[in-house]
């Protein structure tokens, strides 16, 4: 009965999405007539009710997973009665159908929130936005109901479930997909706002202020989702790296790059009434990248630990949606771009100019990642395989990343509209002075390639430059959104330093050891003291007990494992991490060789944790900026309301 209730709610939500689209379109066509007013009044409550119904459907699916209802095909394929409850619940979205239901749930809730709270947009633009949101949602409802029904019953209940992929049975993966999905759906909302503004020809600051919190929220979630996913891959897969340029990793990076450019553009439009066409185009591009990522993960054309390997027919469905949504939006943009006025002008040497330069460079980086991701797929379709990895992405991307970081350090020092480079000459020279000692210090520690060397230098300059906009100001009166910018830019510097240090100075050691043997990796001395079997709730393991000593300090115990899950049967590596302020010792337990010795793999990774500290700082800065922007918008609306009340009273 639970499954039938969830399916019924999903069908009703789809019907309401259709009603929302129809009433919105008819209301726009009816204008200010009585019929138009009646239809307009229906759109908001329909959007709210749709969000509630699809949320109910998702809660029903979670209930089915929590009780391990093996009469439901999705539960039988992705759960097991012996799994811990947290992973039973994570199984709700740790599969194709459940993750798509999560997508449409978040999207419908976002539409309901717009209908409930949005009061800044003119009514026609709001109607067009909610209609576009319903149109996008209808495609995903159709996908779920006709191609990927999450509530489908089995003819005969299964005796036991197949279980969740052991690699996904981790708290990081319980949180990582929902976080990314909130980001993806935030970009779909920005897309709907852009379509609504194009339809009504009202691309201006009001539209940008309404859209900006959604873009900023999406960017925050994407940042945190990518950070969490990177750390999960680092400690769970046992290969010792934090980014592999895997196509599915790239599928989350590309929307983030587009969202970063869009965030800067929409902020300029909201504050300075400039970059109108650029903002609309980036809204379409950002949503296109999220749809492309969805297609790559679910089409079955990729082999990845992150991918949902499903049949190509579903991938074709998503590809058709991608073509419909993005193609339609680009056609609308081409037809209406002449009606999008230029907005306020600005000089090249201004803060707006610096943001445009950075947006162009971000777009170039996005193009590089997109080409490197799709090229192997295209060549394989033509009959031969080509591998594209770090030797392409790192040097080619650095051509654009390095100047982008330099502009990021200097840009916030410029004034809006127009400025002179001579005015910021002293701070710019100061930043260069900060870069040089960092490069010299890196050379003294050990030269390991030009890119890590430049990365350390730029990280030092950007770290100092990120705080220069605060000079001469009362720190207690600096707006939250400015603090957000400062902390996010500083977070990028911290992450860049971690990436460069890990690339430059990591040390790896592969050793064959018996219990009682010792080996050295970097400044660490590691003793393998014991190897014994372990048993968990749904796995068995071989665990190596090691004593690791940093220099002359006291030894610390670590215990990496090689686990074997039995539902489904799969072997995984559980690395052991020992963290110090200046890096991590990374230990992996391998198998026993023919000579009865155990294979042990060790890394010393200087400052690698700065990568994820930086990611957290970037997200924190975005959160502060979001709170600051919401406070500013509330104060603006409150002031406007008081002025209107005084005018009416007079």
Per-residue pLDDT tens for 293-317? 877 776 656 555 444 545 566 777 8
Q: Are 286 and 191 in contact (CB under 8 A)?
A: yes
pLDDT digits (tens, 9 = 90+) for 326-363: 888 888 888 887 777 777 888 888 999 999 999 999 99
3-state secondary structure 207-228: HHHHHHHHHHHHHHHHHHHHHH
Each residue's pLDDT tens digit, 593-617:
777 899 999 999 999 999 999 999 9
pLDDT attached to residue 326 = 85
Q: Which residues of 589-625 are buried (b: 16+ CB within 10 A; e: fewer)?
A: bbeeeeeeebbbbbbbbbbbbbbbbbbbbbbbbbbbb
CB 598 within 8 Å of CB 592: yes
The β-bridge relationship of strands 569-574 and 518-521 is unpaired
- In angstroms, the CA 249 to CA 245 distance is 6
Preceding amide of 298 cis, omega within 30? no
* Token pair 């190596």 in the structure block, residue: 544
Q: Which residues contact 213 (CB under 8 A, 6 or more apart)?
A: 626, 629, 630, 633
pLDDT class for 384, splitting at 50, 70, 90? confident
- DSSP 8-state class, residue 300: S
Decide which of 163 and 50 is more confident: 50
CB 340 within 8 A of CB 277: yes
Q: How confident is the model at residue 650 (pLDDT cuts 50, 70, 90)?
A: low
Percent of the chain residues topping a pLDDT of 90: 50
Mean pLDDT of the chain: 88
**All residues at 6 or more sequence positions from 142 whose CB lies less than 8 Å from its CB, including other chains:** 14
Question: Strands 518-521 and 524-535, how do they pair?
Answer: antiparallel
Confidence of residue 493 (pLDDT cuts 50, 70, 90): very high
pLDDT per residue as tens digits for the range 23-42: 999 999 887 777 878 888 99
Backbone angles phi, psi at 479, to 5 degrees: -60, 150
Averaged pLDDT, 523-540: 89
The terminus-to-terminus CA distance of the chain in angstroms comes to 62
Which of the two residues, 621 and 409, has the higher pLDDT score? 621
pTM as predicted: 0.92
Question: CA geometry: angle at 397 spanning 395 and 398, to 5°?
Answer: 65
Instruction: Please give the sequence-ordered ranges of beta strands (E in DSSP) within 143-297, or none if there are none.
Output: none
Per-residue model confidence (pLDDT) at position 330: 85
Dmax (CA) for the chain in angstroms is 95
In the prediction, which pLDDT does 309 show?
46
Residues 637 and 567: beta-carbon distance below 8 Å: no
pLDDT of 68 strictly over 50? yes
Token pair in block for residue 390 = 């770090």
DSSP-based three-state secondary structure for 578: strand
Token code pair at residue 317: 């469905």
Residues 6+ apart with CB under 8 A from 543: 531, 532, 533, 534, 559, 560, 561, 589
The model's pLDDT over 105-134, given as tens digits with 9 standing for 90+, comes to 999 999 999 999 888 888 999 999 999 999
Between 167-181, 384-398, 511-525, the lowest mean confidence (pLDDT) is in: 167-181
CA distance 526 to 558: 10
Query: Which residues pair with residue 588 across a beta bridge?
Result: 601
Residue 443 CB neighbours (<10 A): 12
Query: What tokens were used for 537?
Result: 């709730």
Q: Is residue 535 very low, low, confident or very high in pLDDT (cuts 50, 70, 90)?
A: confident
Lowest mean pLDDT across 223-237, 442-456, 623-637: 442-456
Model pLDDT, residue 305? 46
Residue 312 tokens, joined: 């190509």
Nearest to 157 by CA among 64, 92, 58: 64
Residue in 78, 245, 239 with CA at minimum distance from that of residue 150: 78
CA dihedral 180, 182, 186, 191 (to 10 degrees): 60
Cα separation, 621 vs 491, whole angstroms? 8
Can you tell me the mean pLDDT for 460-487? 91
In the 8-state DSSP scheme, what is residue 340?
S
The pLDDT value recorded for residue 495 is: 97
CA atoms 320, 326, 327, 329: torsion sign: positive
Percent above pLDDT 70 for the chain = 95
């Amino acid at each position: 009965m639970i499954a039938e209730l969830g399916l019924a709610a999903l069908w009703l939500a789809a019907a309401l999405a259709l009603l929302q689209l129809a009433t919105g379109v008819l209301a726009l066509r009816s204008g200010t007539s009585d019929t138009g007013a009646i239809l307009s009044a229906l759109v908001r409550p329909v959007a709210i009710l749709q969000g509630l119904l699809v949320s109910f459907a998702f809660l029903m699916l979670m209930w089915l997973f929590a009780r391990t209802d093996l009469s439901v095909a999705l539960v039988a394929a992705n759960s097991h009665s012996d799994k811990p409850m947290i992973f039973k619940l994570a199984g709700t979205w740790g599969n194709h159908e459940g993750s798509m239901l999560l997508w449409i749930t978040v999207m419908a809730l976002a539409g309901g929130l717009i209908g409930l709270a949005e009061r800044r947009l003119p009514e026609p633009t709001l109607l067009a936005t909610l209609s576009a949101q319903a149109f996008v949602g209808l495609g995903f409802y159709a996908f779920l109901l006709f191609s990927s029904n999450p509530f489908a019953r089995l003819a005969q209940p299964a005796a036991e479930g197949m279980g969740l992929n052991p690699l996904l049975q981790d708290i990081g993966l319980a949180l990582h997909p929902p976080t990314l999905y909130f980001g993806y759906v935030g970009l779909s909302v920005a897309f709907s706002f852009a379509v609504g503004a194009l339809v009504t020809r009202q691309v201006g600051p009001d539209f940008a202020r309404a859209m900006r919190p959604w873009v900023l929220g999406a960017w925050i979630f994407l940042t945190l989702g990518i950070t969490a996913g990177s750390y999960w891959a680092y400690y769970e897969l046992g290969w010792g790296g934090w980014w592999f340029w895997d196509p599915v990793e790239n599928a989350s990076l590309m929307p983030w790059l587009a969202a970063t450019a869009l965030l800067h553009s929409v902020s300029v439009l909201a504050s300075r009434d400039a970059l109108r066409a650029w903002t609309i185009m980036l809204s379409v591009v950002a949503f296109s990248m999220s749809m492309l990522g969805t297609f790559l993960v679910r089409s079955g054309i990729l082999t990845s630990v992150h991918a949902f390997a499903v049949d190509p027919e579903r991938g074709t469905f998503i590809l058709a949606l991608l073509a419909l949504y993005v193609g339609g939006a680009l056609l609308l943009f081409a037809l209406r771009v002449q009606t999008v006025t230029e907005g306020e002008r600005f000089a090249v040497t201004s803060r707006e100019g610096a943001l445009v330069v950075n947006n162009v460079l971000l777009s170039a980086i996005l193009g590089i990642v997109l080409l490197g991701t799709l090229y192997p797929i295209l060549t394989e379709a033509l009959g031969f395989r080509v591998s594209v990895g770090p030797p392409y992405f790192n040097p080619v991307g650095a051509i654009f990343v390095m100047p982008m970081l330099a502009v990021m350090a200097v840009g916030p020092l410029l004034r809006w509209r127009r400025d002179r480079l001579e005015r910021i000459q002293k701070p710019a020279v100061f930043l260069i002075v900060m870069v040089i000692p960092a490069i010299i210090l890196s050379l003294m520690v050990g030269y390991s390639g030009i890119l890590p060397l430049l990365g350390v230098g730029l990280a030092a300059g950007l770290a100092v430059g990120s705080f220069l906009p605060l000079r001469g100001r009362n720190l207690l009166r600096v707006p939250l959104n400015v603090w957000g910018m400062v902390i996010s830019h500083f977070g990028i510097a911290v992450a860049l330093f971690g990436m460069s240090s890990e690339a430059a100075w990591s040390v790896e050691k592969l050793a064959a050891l018996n219990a009682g043997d010792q080996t050295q990796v970097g400044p660490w001395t590691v003793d393998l003291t014991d190897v014994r079997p372990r048993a968990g709730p749904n796995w068995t393991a071989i665990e190596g007990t090691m004593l690791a000593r940093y220099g002359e300090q006291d030894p610390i115990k670590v215990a990496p494992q090689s686990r074997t899950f039995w539902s489904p049967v799969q072997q995984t590596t559980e690395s052991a991490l020992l963290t110090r302020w200046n890096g991590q010792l990374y230990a992996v337990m391998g198998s026993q060789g023919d000579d009865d010795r155990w294979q042990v793999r060790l890394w010393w990774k200087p400052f690698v944790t700065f990568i994820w500290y930086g990611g957290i700082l970037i997200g924190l800065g975005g959160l502060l900026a979001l709170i600051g922007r919401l406070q500013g918008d509330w104060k603006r609306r409150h002031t406007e309301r008081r002025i209107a009340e005084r005018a009416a009273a007079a």
